């Protein structure tokens, strides 16, 4: 039987570079098609809700923004037993704690995927609610996909150019193109809160 593969993007697209993992899996589905044994999933910040997907996977490849303490945009690939520790090192947001718990729980229950690959990118900006990927991070989507395709090919999983299965991705309204195009200008946007509740005067 063919190995069951889960390609997962995790993170929060509302917090600038935190969305790297999600944008990678979106781009993969937009450019490459796989056989039915490969699932592409926007895991967002779902945490333990992802357990059923891990239960059925033999191979797990994860895209994520990881603070390695390197130059912004630096890609780092982690494999095997080291993956959980990197997902938990220097946590940037709740999704990392959540996904570390997912892997730990899957291991305790005896159905963690045998093969783990993490493709992480060093973020530049995380404190910009409503912001998009910064240039050094956005520029690494293509290279990250190439690494993923090479890793999968080494495991006997091959893609062909074309549209992939996007059924497990986000609603079209928050895919990267729509999200970026719908953002107001810097002058029009209120980036520090809800201006309806700002105090009047000094």
- Using CA atoms, how far apart are residues 156 and 19, in angstroms rounded to an integer? 28
Confidence of residue 140 (pLDDT cuts 50, 70, 90): very high
Residue 32 CB-density burial (10 A; 0-12 exposed, 13-18 middle, 19+ buried): buried
Is 130 within 8 Å of 17 (Cβ atoms)? no
One-character DSSP codes across 45-109: T-GGGGHHHHHT-SEEEEEEE---SS-TT-EEEEETTHHHHHHHTT--SHHHHHHHHHHHHHHHT
Q: What is the pLDDT of residues 83-133, one digit of tens each?
A: 876 765 455 554 454 677 888 888 888 888 999 999 999 999 888 877 889
Percent of the chain at pLDDT exceeding 90: 51
Q: What is the pLDDT of residues 149-196, one digit of tens each?
A: 999 999 999 999 999 999 999 877 677 777 777 666 666 666 665 565
- Using CA atoms, how far apart are residues 115 and 131, in angstroms rounded to an integer? 33
pLDDT for 12: 87
Q: Average model confidence (pLDDT) for the chain?
A: 85
């Amino acid at each position: 039987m063919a190995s069951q593969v889960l390609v997962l993007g995790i993170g929060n697209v509302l917090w600038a570079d935190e969305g790297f993992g999600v944008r990678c899996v979106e781009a993969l589905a937009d450019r490459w098609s796989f056989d039915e044994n490969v699932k592409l999933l926007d895991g967002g910040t779902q945490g333990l809700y992802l357990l059923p997907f891990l239960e059925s996977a033999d191979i797990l490849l994860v895209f994520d923004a990881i603070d390695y303490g390197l130059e912004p945009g630096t890609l780092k690939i982690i494999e095997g037993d080291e993956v959980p520790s990197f997902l938990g090192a220097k946590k940037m947001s709740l999704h990392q704690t959540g996904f570390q718990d997912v892997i730990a729980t899957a291991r305790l229950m005896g159905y963690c995927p045998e093969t783990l690959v993490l493709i992480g990118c060093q973020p530049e900006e995380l404190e910009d609610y409503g912001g998009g990927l910064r240039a050094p991070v956005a520029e690494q989507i293509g290279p990250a996909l190439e690494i993923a395709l090479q890793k999968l090919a080494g495991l006997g999983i091959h893609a062909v150019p074309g549209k992939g299965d996007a059924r497990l991705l986000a609603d079209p309204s928050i895919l990267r193109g729509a999200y970026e195009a719908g953002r107001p200008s810097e002058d029009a946007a209120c980036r520090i809160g809800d201006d309806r509740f700002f105090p009047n005067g000094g």
